[in-house]
């Protein structure tokens, strides 16, 4: 748990980004993989970040302030296409610009649903983002859906995939397995986030 996390702002344009020198940690992943749930879990607050069962609900950059330390930034899920093309193009361009050029960005948390295999879309995103040199920490969400042995198997499989197919990607060697129901895995993730601030 990270004490003091609170909502700060919602941003849809570059000029509205916080004018702060504090470091930022972005949280990304496929649509409906649990990004908002993760923020609520880190803050130990149920409704700090809006969590929806409808994929693609988050279409803005939502900033959450950790006082005197930095920001967590909840980004729209990638891979969701059921929005108007004009709207999608508008925010997709802004988000790509944020991820590639934001000097405050000190780390990226990539959420993967433990029940899903790493997809070509995940791979493309990792390779695309790796050009920034910003470190990536992989979090396997919804680990309560599997037994402990199954979780280990999936984690080993993802690690093998990353080391063999994504050579050169700036991915941290240790993953976090998160369960919002069991409230497990938060301590290891918190330590990673704090190391980036």
Nearest to 107 by CA among 76, 129, 77: 129
> What pLDDT, on a 0 to 100 scale, did the predictor assign at position 23?
97
- How far is it, in rounded angstroms, from Cα 58 to Cα 175? 25
- How far is it, in rounded angstroms, from Cα 129 to Cα 82? 24
Nearest to 67 by CA among 104, 99, 22, 112: 22
> What pLDDT, on a 0 to 100 scale, did the predictor assign at position 79?
63
Q: Kindly report the pTM of this predicted structure.
A: 0.86
Q: What is the mean pLDDT of each run of 10 residues along the chain (197 residues)?
A: 86 90 93 82 80 54 92 83 49 83 95 85 89 93 82 87 82 84 83 92
CB atoms inside a 10 Å sphere around CB 138 = 24
Nearest to 79 by CA among 50, 58, 102: 58
- Residue partners of 44: CB distance under 8 A and separation at least 6: 1
Show the domains of the chain with their CATH numbers: 6-195 (3.40.50.300)
CA dihedral (101, 104, 106, 111) positive or negative: negative
């Amino acid at each position: 748990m990270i004490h003091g996390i609170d909502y700060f702002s919602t941003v849809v344009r570059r000029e509205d980004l916080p004018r702060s020198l504090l470091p930022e940690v972005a949280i990304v992943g496929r649509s409906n993989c649990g990004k908002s749930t993760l923020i609520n879990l880190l803050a130990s607050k149920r409704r700090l970040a809006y969590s929806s069962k409808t994929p693609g609900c988050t279409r803005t950059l939502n900033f959450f302030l950790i006082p005197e330390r930095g920001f967590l930034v909840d980004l729209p899920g990638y891979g969701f296409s059921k929005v108007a093309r004009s709207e999608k193009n508008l925010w997709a361009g802004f988000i790509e610009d944020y991820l590639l050029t934001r000097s405050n960005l000190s780390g990226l948390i990539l959420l993967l649903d433990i029940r899903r295999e790493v997809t070509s879309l995940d791979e493309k995103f990792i390779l695309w983002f790796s050009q920034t040199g910003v470190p990536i920490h992989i979090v396997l969400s919804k680990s309560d859906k599997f037994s402990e042995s199954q979780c280990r198997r999936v984690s080993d499989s993802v690690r093998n995939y990353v080391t063999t197919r994504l050579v050169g990607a700036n991915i941290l060697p240790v993953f976090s397995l998160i369960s919002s129901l069991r409230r497990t895995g938060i301590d290891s993730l918190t330590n990673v986030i704090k190391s980036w601030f």
